[in-house]
Amino acid sequence: MHSRPIRARAGTALVCVLGIALLTSGCEDDDTASARRQPAVQADRADRAGGGAADSDGGKTLPLGEATSITYKRGSDHLRGTLRVTAVSIRKGTRAELTQAGSHSDARTTHPYYVTMTFENTGDSSLHYPFLNTPTGLEDTSGVDAQPLITADDGVKPCRGKDPDDFAAGASATLCKVFLVPKGERPSVVTYSTGDDTKRPVRWKAAR
């Protein structure tokens, strides 16, 4: 006997609920909408400040001095992190500087070049014994990888490259690496290759 009024009241309640929901969503002010968009905007700004999303510059050639964000991965123990990496400069050294460091390797057929890199740990975790400078490479004008000079830590005084033993989150470091380029050739690009996509290293053009 009372089924119809009950159904009517239930239908009316449902309409009211829907009406309130529609009014609420329709009356959302600009401040609320802006607040909802803010996290996405902040993330986009953070990506740009850190050189873009990690590994987004893989395969690209950047100008010297431009930073990029890279996934750092050391395969032996699966150490991972996020670095902001910049190829800062390439400077031609002298044979005398190598001789003072006790190195006579290919001194007659090559010229030393010093590649300076900066690194910043933009991840959340400290990296222990990260070998930051190891993935740094240098190609000459023939497209051949220049030979890195192996010396004792900080052996070449104008090009010190001792990695930190512990690279804390937020820490930064400036390191230099010596490369031997055959006479008649010049540096062309600096490369940095690590992470999951080592076949597409980031590259920096040698000349500004």
Would you state the pLDDT for residue 88? 97
Would you state the pLDDT for residue 102? 65
> Is 87 a residue whose pLDDT tops 70?
yes
Would you state the pLDDT for residue 98? 81
Would you state the pLDDT for residue 155? 72
CA–CA distance, 119 with 130 (Å, rounded to integer):
11
Residue-range domains of the chain with CATH: 3-48 (no CATH), 52-205 (2.60.40.1240)
Phi and psi at residue 136, in whole multiples of 5°?
A: -70, 130
> Is 149 a residue whose pLDDT tops 60?
yes
CA–CA distance, 194 with 76 (Å, rounded to integer):
13
> Is 48 a residue whose pLDDT tops 60?
no
Would you state the pLDDT for residue 61? 95
Tell me the H-state helices in 27-166: 30-49, 95-100
Residue 112: closest CA among 122, 120, 104? 104
| pLDDT, average across residues 22-50 | 40
